[in-house]
A and B are shown apart, each in its own frame.
Chain A
């Protein structure tokens, strides 16, 4: 800011300096130009003036020259003739003051000439000269005289003119030398302030006068040599003029303002002021012949010209005080100077205004820039705060801008990414990915969306690219937004899988159902067949059993009668055979009874009579019944009863049959040790256990014990069982809602248990 302000002031300072300098420079040059112009004008005027003087001088000289022709025309020129001719010239040439005739008179002719002059009417004519005191005295005797014989004036009537007639102009030796030089050369001789005339003209108020002596020769003789000229010399025609007259006339015709003029005779010997003119200017009255004070000349400009006069020359000097012209002439430079100042000031004001406005604009720009920065910061923070991966791509697929989320996901810095091609960074390939939505957006300038599985990031991304169109409507690039939809996709996939699974399962279940129906149908058919076969078997067994029991009863009765001895005495040998027969008949009878029981159970024809009974009582009865048999095998027979057992509803005969069967089995397979009957009370049951110390049952055989027609062990171990007993027991207990099971340790005895529920349940 400070720097900008300094710059601003610097600009203004430069403008002021340049403006002022330009004003002064233009002032200076225009002043110089004005001055030169003034000088040129003055020089031009002076030139005209010069020309005027020159013309006047030349005319005078030309008039003088005409006397030569005049004298050449006649042998003897009389006073009257000269007077007539001179008056004509004087009338024509206003600058000529007087014309005179000075003849050469030899010393011998003095008396003759004086007398002839007197005869011509000149009174008191003698040859005269001026003595040292200035008194006019008669001329001394000389070999040659140059007396003034005639003078013709322009207009003046000068008193005492006769006094100078007869005055010898060659009275002084130096004057004579000049005269002789003029005679010898034949050229006009200019002379200033000739003493001869001095006294006379001073009276007339003339201070300076100039004369020109023109030698006149007789034209009868040749003039080629000096001697010729000396021999034929006749006299001088004297022309007198006054510079004042010429100058005054010139000034009268051509008023010259502001130029002082001084005229000098410019002979090699001396430089003599002939005339000076100081023009009337401020504070100085017109003063002729007064040199102007150099000091008072404020701005002097002087120049000079040479004017040839007869055979000599004049130096004309001009001098002007240019300051005199300033008040009227030197205006333009001042106008330029002030105009320059005004323009500079106006421009500076204008510039200051602009700069001030610029400052206002700059301040505004500064403020706006700050706001923009703030907005940009806000935007950038927002941009970076978005969890979606955003980058802005150029149409050449270069990454122009990325947000922090994206950089974090890639594990890269912004400088690694910006300016690179997107597919190089994202897909790590040199060419664009075929399905890239950005590539599609480049083609059609429309938004595109694609789900992309990125194995590098381990993410599923929903990528959307939206075109960026600039204000000219040209496609610039796209905004590429990638959203992590891994979880959504996973859920979707899981849902799809679950749906597929459900569909598969539904399909499987329907198929299985269909299959089961078919199999069930088939099974039903087979079952019906089985039932029919079962019924057939049952009635067959029933019929066979009954048919077998009847003859068996007859055989048993027959054997009994024979053994009783009713039919006569029986020998011991017979008795043994009959006993064997009776035992086998009994066994066959038991077998048939078992088969009948089984058949009844199988056919559901067995009748149960449930009454409240005491299981201990049943145990005691079985114990008493079986005691002789058990003890007959030298086994201990133990009865262990729980007296707290309540009465329970059961079929006494059937339970007696079960317990008898269990004790019978135990006794049958136990060779040493004991058989025990134990009753115990459970929580809701009563339990009866028949325990023996027999060989025990192998684990794998335990399940077979309660199956129909199954006998375990080898043939030797089968002790005349039917293979139906335990199966029947199981059925009977089951009919009581009880349960029967076996526990055995092979080689260490077996325990059969059955429980009956205390609480009566409806069957």
Chain B
């Protein structure tokens, strides 16, 4: 089932990989490279799924998640947090900020794929 997905990720390489992966699965993908851009796009597009990197250049991804949840009050929009540097505090914070799932970025992206499958 095709979903509209917003990827908020500063790493161009990661964005490229995820866009390729998601497009291949039939989803429509938009991307944002900063937290602020991501919040604006999420507010205007109201995507089905938002993928947020924990470490963004301008702000913490968890904060971005909280802002998006405040903007999109309906729970229709699902949020997945991703990170390359796992930290339990981040995970709990993401949960509290309203994230639906938390995924670690591995090279093969298997963990992310599993998380995505659960939400789609």
Contacts and interface: CB of A to CB of B under 8 A. Distances in A.
Interface of A: 501, 504-505, 507-509, 511-512, 514-516, 518-519, 522
Contact of B88 (A501, A508, A518): A508
B91 interface: yes
B106 A511 contact: no
Contacts of A511: 91, 101-102
Interface string B68-104: 0000000000000001001111111111100001111
A168 to B, nearest CB: 166
Nearest to A509: B88
Contacts, number: 49
Contact of A508 (B92, B106, B107, B111): B92
Given A514-B104, A515-B102, A518-B104, A508 B95 contact: yes
Contacts of B107: 522
A514 B95 CA distance: 15
Given A518-B111, A519-B104, A504 B95 contact: yes
A507 B100 CA distance: 11
Contacts of A501: 92
Contacts of A515: 83, 86, 91, 102-104, 111
Given A504-B92, A504-B95, A505-B92, A512 B106 contact: no
Contacts of A512: 86-88, 90-91, 102
Main secondary structure of the interface of A (DSSP, over half): helix
A511 B95 CA distance: 10
29 contacts: A501-B92, A504-B96, A505-B92, A507-B91, A507-B92, A507-B95, A508-B88, A508-B89, A508-B90, A508-B91, A508-B92, A508-B93, A508-B94, A508-B95, A509-B92, A511-B91, A511-B102, A512-B91, A512-B102, A515-B83, A515-B91, A515-B102, A515-B104, A515-B111, A516-B104, A518-B104, A518-B106, A519-B86, A519-B106
Contacts of B96: 504
A522 to B, nearest CB: 6
Contacts of A507: 91-92, 95
A667 B8 CA distance: 57
A404 B95 CA distance: 48
Given A508-B90, A519-B106, 14 more contacts: A501-B92, A504-B92, A505-B88, A507-B91, A508-B94, A508-B102, A509-B91, A512-B86, A512-B88, A512-B91, A514-B111, A515-B86, A515-B103, A519-B86
Nearest to A505: B92
B103 to A, nearest CB: 8
A516 B91 contact: no
Contacts of A508: 88-95, 102
Contacts of B87: 512
Chain B CB count within 10 A is highest, among A501, A505, A512, A514, for: A512
Chain B CB count within 10 A is highest, among A505, A514, A515, A518, for: A515
A514 B111 CA distance: 9
A599 B93 CA distance: 46
Q: Which 9 pairs of residues, A with B, have the shortest CB-CB distance? A: A515-B104, A508-B92, A508-B91, A515-B86, A512-B88, A504-B95, A511-B102, A511-B91, A512-B91
B92 A516 contact: no
B70 to A, nearest CB: 18
Contacts of A514: 104, 111
Chain A CB count within 10 A is highest, among B87, B90, B94, B104, for: B104
A511 B103 CA distance: 8
A500 to B, nearest CB: 9
Contacts of A505: 88, 92
A516 B102 CA distance: 12
Nearest to B106: A518
Interface in B3-17: none
A516 B91 CA distance: 12
A522 B85 CA distance: 12
A513 to B, nearest CB: 8
A520 to B, nearest CB: 10
A335 B99 CA distance: 115
A512 B87 CA distance: 6
B117 to A, nearest CB: 15
A497 to B, nearest CB: 11
Interface string B50-80: 0000000000000000000000000000000
Contacts of B83: 515
B91 A522 contact: no
Nearest to B115: A511
A515 B89 CA distance: 13
B51 to A, nearest CB: 15
Contacts of B111: 514-515, 518
Given A511-B102, A522-B107, A516 B86 contact: yes
A522 B110 CA distance: 12
Chain A CB count within 10 A is highest, among B90, B91, B93, B101, for: B91
Contacts of B102: 508, 511-512, 515
Nearest to A520: B86
Contacts of B94: 508
Contacts of B86: 512, 515-516, 519
B33 to A, nearest CB: 23
A507 B94 CA distance: 11
A509 B91 CA distance: 7
B10 to A, nearest CB: 19
Nearest to A525: B107
Chain B CB count within 10 A is highest, among A509, A511, A516, A518, for: A511
A387 B90 CA distance: 47
B98 to A, nearest CB: 11
Nearest to B84: A519
A164 B69 CA distance: 171
Nearest to A512: B88
A271 B18 CA distance: 167
A509 B93 CA distance: 11
Contacts of B101: 511
Contacts of A509: 88, 91-92
A468 B99 CA distance: 52
Nearest to B93: A508
A21 B61 CA distance: 113
A504 B91 CA distance: 9
Nearest to A507: B95
B91 to A, nearest CB: 4
Contacts of B106: 518-519, 522
Contacts of A504: 92, 95-96
Nearest to B94: A508
